[in-house]
Amino acid sequence: MDRISQNRRFVLTGACAAIVSVAGCSGTESNTEYPTATAEPDTVEDGDAEMTADIVDGFSDGSPARLEIAYTNTADEERSVSFGPTPPFSEYWSADSDLVIIPDDQSAISAVNATGETGEQPSNTPEETIVPSEAQDGCWKARSQFASWERQRTVTLPSGDTVKETYSVLSQTESRGCLAEGTYRFSQQSYFEDGSSWGFSIRLGQP
């Protein structure tokens, strides 16, 4: 059972404050091998919860890499847990903003148009879908900058139940090149009731 409280204050954070071209990355042939992708989650300090972050599909001609994040209530009793707008994780930009993760549930994010404006409500129309339908010159890159709507979502989980979401992994900027080899850090502050943070790293390697 979900109890959702919404704060309609609109926020532009991190890389979404600027507008960039949505053209594909240059210098990469469409048949180029894609980088490998692995996820390395933090250890969970909360003894009544378990969190995982796993790459369930790698980059291919037909799809960007796919990341699944899951939160499980391991306590002996029901718990009500407060998350961001897309439980269980809502920090979509890596620390350097070079990589982004776009949830399948895009109701809390909105593409930013060419003038830097957004509508009053998030939109998932085909013209504003952030995840491209195909790679451009071998690069899986977000079709536009985007903004998130600041919301809090409280989910009540019986003992042993799990809430999870799947995300598409995309390049956002090209400061290191498109899907450049390296480690990209994602972290959400004050994730647990004791104020501790939780996050994970996505490591892109050679094919």
Mean pLDDT (10-residue bins), the chain, 207 residues: 35 32 41 89 88 97 96 95 92 93 90 53 53 88 84 92 97 79 91 84 93
Tell which residue, 77, 83, 15, 13, has the closest CA to residue 48. 77
Which residues sit opposite 151 in a β-bridge?
6
* φ/ψ of residue 24, rounded to 5: -70, 165
Measured between alpha carbons, how far is residue 53 from residues 154, 176, 177 in Å? 20, 24, 25
| pLDDT score at 144 | 82
Domain ranges of the chain: 2-205
The DSSP secondary-structure symbol of 33 reads P
| pLDDT score at 25 | 43
Give CA–CA dist 88/77, Å, rounded: 19
Give CA–CA dist 167/99, Å, rounded: 12
Q: What is the pTM of this model?
A: 0.77
At 22, which amino acid appears? V
